[in-house]
Amino acid sequence: MAVDIQGLSDNARKTSINELNACLADAIALGLAVKQAHWNVKGRNFIAVHELLDDVRDNLNEQIDTFAERVQVLDGVAKGTAQIVAEGTTLEPYPTDLTKVEDHIKALSERMRVYGKKLREAIDAVSDAGDEGTADAFTAASRTADKDLWFMESHLE
């Protein structure tokens, strides 16, 4: 049974489900990259970066749940399996040979920038389709991603 969301066209719903699943794939891939760095980072400021990466991962987990739950609200299917994420992410594969703090921060920052851009594009797409509720979810995720990127890049100064 389709969920009736007052004033939301079928096109808006479909656009939002597609954008949510696309951002879900990138958020999951980014979360795994953050965990890879978290497990393997070494060097100056180790504990500060290690703990920062825990916070970044927690923020991504909230976004992942928000995106997946919004898909359900829109009567779609959240797609977050390993295979779908691997096929659907726009992020470059995360290198597994990094250990230095700066190398991890640079690699993660590059991916955070791509993710932030994807979120801003999704805001525009769902707003143009008429789904301001989903746009709000993407806007909140974008603000958090921007702040997390700022925190990470501050370690490079």
Mean pLDDT of 100-114: 97
Position 2 pLDDT exceeds 60? no
Mean pLDDT of 86-97: 97
pLDDT at 29: 98
Domain ranges, ordered by start, for the chain? 10-156
Q: Which of 123, 116, 118, 108 is nearest to 156 (CA)?
A: 108
Mean pLDDT of 35-61: 95
Give the tokens for residue 152. Answer: 């990470």
Res. 7 pLDDT band, cuts 50 70 90 = confident
Q: How far apart are alpha carbons 155 and 45 in whole angstroms? A: 8
Q: What CATH number was assigned to the domain covering residues 10-156?
A: 1.20.1260.10
What angle do helix axes 132-153 and 46-73 make, rounded to 10 degrees? 170
pLDDT at 1: 42
Res. 4 pLDDT band, cuts 50 70 90 = low
Q: Which of 26, 16, 51, 13 is nearest to 145 (CA)?
A: 26
Res. 24 pLDDT band, cuts 50 70 90 = very high
Q: What share of the chain has pLDDT > 70, as a percent?
A: 96
CB 77 within 8 A of CB 71: yes
